[in-house]
A and B are shown apart, each in its own frame.
Chain A
Amino acid sequence: MTPMPAVRLADVSKSFARVKAVDHVSLQINNGEYVCILGPTGSGKTTLLRLIAGLTSPTDGNVEFDNRVVTGIRAEDRNAVYVPQQYALFPHMTVRENVAFGPLARGFSREESLRLADEMLSLVRLAHRAGSLPHELSGGMQQRVALARGLAGRSPLLLLDEPLGALDARLRVMLRYELRKLAKELAVTVVHVTHDQQEAMSIADRIAVLRDGRIEQFGRSSEIYTAPDSPFLANFVGGANFLEGTVVQKGPERMLVEVAEGFSLAARTSDYQVGEAVVASFRQERTSVLTSANLEENVVPGRLVSTSLLGVFLRCSIDLGRPATVVAKVPLREALDQRLPDLIGELVYVHAGPDSVCVFKRPRRALAVELEAI
């Protein structure tokens, strides 16, 4: 079965004065799909969402819902609900009335609206606060009320701008799984804007990574994570280590990149030529820290600078001298068995297997600029 496109953007651009906020974006979101638009501040993601909502009109290109062009149609006449980052709850109305406003505005009867409101409030676990006024709730609860109001209208398309932005980190993590579950239960199509890659990966069926108004990559999160199209993507989605180097050897399905004098990394690719300037990249959780160079391949010496606890992982920062600093995320129990926190300042070896090494063409700009490191 071919999936039904719920939303299609056909070569959409939007300029404000001289700034191109959205630059030739084409995108198709299928019915029932949960899509995250992920990008740094200023990448144009909110503008893109507002274009879909009809709150701003494109300078070029068309927006389609269910194969119908809606470009000229006003926001209130589109079959979509937009929940802005700055959700505005009515301060004098109870939580229940606030949520019922969603369906009321979409033409449901008062009785049906209240019933839908109660249903949504129990889904977002706020049934016990139905009679409260917004100011009596925490920021996180208020955000869930806004979400419930958006959901209660039974619109097939939900457009969410940083829907978990006002929440404390812990609550934010808990609620993202609930949000996905909710969307799937209600079978709605969701477009969710966020700057948090972990949130995007844990919630979305597909992710569109936006940078400077353009889509860098659009795909399933596992695709973007395992096969990013650029160093920027590898860094922005998941974080990685990058070492600049030169191809020194090439065989079928295998290449050797020299990243420091006398030290090379083997990679399972043959896309580049001997002598070509490249960037070798490997994920932090695929990087291990060895206390002796007991492997022959893909081992680079360095000094362990610091360790810090992330929870599941212990983050180890290793200074390789001239090339760079490398970060290894070592599963906590293994790191403690290795006594890594006691080895700060000592010589260690960094290892990433050939299967974990990605090779990119060396970017024209300086690597730090390309990666948008601070």
Chain B
Amino acid sequence: MRVIGLSKGFRDVLALQDVSLDMNDGEYVSIIGPSGCGKSTLLKCIAGIIKQDSGEIFIGDREVTSLPPEDRQLGYMFQEIALFPHMSVLQNVGYGPRVRGKDRRSSREFVGQIMEMARLAVGSETYPDELSGGASQKAALARAIAAEPELMLLDEPLGALDAHVRAALRYELRRLVKELQLTAIHVTHDQEEAMSISDRLVIMKAGRIVEVGTPLELYLTPKRLFTANFLGEANFFQATVKDCTAYQVTASVNGWTLNFAGSGYASGERVVLAARPESVILTPADRQASQEWIGTVRDRMLLGDCIRMEIGMNNNLTVIAQTPNRGLLGMVDRGETVRIDFSVGSILSYRWPAEGLDAELALE
């Protein structure tokens, strides 16, 4: 799939501004961004449901820019369950193959295979209204897949589900797409969902692509401040560079000194530093200690797989620390004085954003 210079405006809003994107065969790509960033519009342009103002769209080596949706050979799955209520689940899944001219017998066999792959066991007389939310979404996916699309478009396909069902089903979704060697574009507002199942992520904001990369690249070394904030939590510090060598930067953060790996900054330059909560290392500190990077644990919460702590630093910064839950035994507790360090190589640094920090980080 290839999109070149796609733009689309709605009245006074530019929903897409010169968006270009290349996808490989068999790739699973997720498009994520805050609501209103243009991710659904992009998907709908690829589907042919919305007509773009300018730009070109290719699927395989066919240009489909001006083709109607039905001629684009796409599978489409929405958040709203779109099974035909008057047909049994099996008839629903068999709809695509029948429309495409498969005979009864081979169509039935094919549907059987798809149902098995989807791990969806239903009787021949089961109707959509008898399925749970999770099973309905599986059936909708099975139906979309059974039409043997060249490209699967998934628009918040898990959006209507309970959190725990949603989290379990996303792995099934990826497994199915990969087993059938389909190419898929998945639109979601859920970062964890996108990171956990995609080969690559496309981050969008205000109608533009901010950054494209593998989940690991974008999580560990985001090039843009917006990405660092959008993909997982981070502590942000405003800092001033005091000294910068070829590989190390010394900066001042609210009067405290911090060294981190980096280069290319001018002395006196304003920068923004980001540190993931899991890279914050806490050690108990002497109450009388008057060194830098000392603070008090204001709150400690068990989140389940992690323990989260909020630390009020002595220079008025607030730092969030998160550690994998290996039991509360021996963990620092509320009210304790701690020293914080950051794990090696975990500090990300950014030039001061031209539009200001708040605008760069804004999620709505």
Contacts and interface: CB of A to CB of B under 8 A. Distances in A.
Interface of A: 40-41, 138-141, 168-171, 173-174, 195-199, 201-202, 221-222, 225, 235-239, 283-286, 306, 308-313, 315, 317, 329, 331-333, 341, 355, 373-374
B302 interface: yes
Given A138-B36, A169-B189, A221-B302, A40 B162 contact: yes
Contacts of A236: 164
A84 to B, nearest CB: 18
Contacts, number: 127
A140 B36 CA distance: 12
B190 to A, nearest CB: 4
Interface in B313-333: 322, 324-328
B236 interface: no
Contact of B168 (A40, A199, A373): A373
A309 B162 contact: no
Contact of B303 (A171, A202, A235): A202
A170 B165 contact: no
Contacts of B191: 169-170, 311
Nearest to B34: A168
A265 to B, nearest CB: 18
B196 interface: yes
Contacts of B324: 285, 312-313, 329, 331
B195 interface: yes
18 contacts: A138-B364, A141-B364, A170-B363, A174-B363, A196-B163, A199-B163, A202-B303, A235-B164, A238-B304, A238-B305, A239-B304, A286-B325, A309-B195, A311-B191, A312-B277, A312-B322, A331-B278, A373-B168
A238 B171 CA distance: 17
Contacts of A313: 305, 324
B36 to A, nearest CB: 7
Given A41-B133, A138-B35, A221-B302, A197 B196 contact: no
Given A171-B34, A202-B308, A283-B305, 12 more contacts: A41-B133, A41-B162, A170-B189, A195-B163, A283-B325, A284-B305, A285-B306, A311-B231, A315-B196, A331-B278, A341-B216, A374-B134
A171 B363 contact: yes
A311 B192 contact: yes
A222 B333 CA distance: 14
A355 B132 CA distance: 36
Interface residues of B, number: 53
Contacts of B135: 374
Contacts of A168: 34-35, 189-190, 363-364
Interface of B: 34-36, 132-135, 138, 162-165, 167-169, 171-172, 174, 189-193, 195-197, 215-216, 219-220, 230-233, 276-278, 301-306, 308, 322, 324-328, 343, 363-364
Contacts of A138: 35-36, 364
Nearest to B308: A202
A174 B363 CA distance: 11
B172 to A, nearest CB: 8
Contact of B192 (A169, A237, A317): A169
A202 B307 CA distance: 10
B35 A139 contact: yes
Nearest to A285: B305
Nearest to A355: B327
Given A285-B325, A331-B278, A374 B305 contact: no
Contacts of B193: 169
B195 A308 contact: yes
A332 B278 contact: yes
Contacts of B302: 201, 221-222, 225
B157 to A, nearest CB: 14
A308 B304 contact: no
Contacts of B172: 374
A40 B305 contact: no
Contacts of A239: 164, 167, 304
A170 B163 CA distance: 14
Nearest to A220: B302
A310 B363 contact: no
B318 to A, nearest CB: 11
A66 B294 CA distance: 43
Given A139-B35, A238-B304, A310 B364 contact: no
Contacts of A170: 34, 189, 191, 230, 363
A40 B165 CA distance: 9
Contacts of B278: 312, 331-332
B325 A40 contact: no
B252 to A, nearest CB: 27
Nearest to B132: A374
B213 to A, nearest CB: 12
Nearest to B170: A308
Given A286-B326, A332-B278, A374 B233 contact: no
B189 A311 contact: no
Contacts of B305: 238, 283-285, 312-313, 329
A225 B35 contact: no
Max count, chain A CB within 10 A of own CB: residue among B233, B343, B364:
B364
Given A138-B35, A202-B303, A374 B169 contact: yes
Contacts of B230: 170
A308 B132 contact: no
Contacts of A221: 302
B202 to A, nearest CB: 16
A311 B194 CA distance: 11
A47 B192 CA distance: 31
A144 B187 CA distance: 25
B27 to A, nearest CB: 15
A253 B169 CA distance: 38
Contacts of B303: 198, 201-202
Contacts of A238: 304-305
Contacts of A315: 196
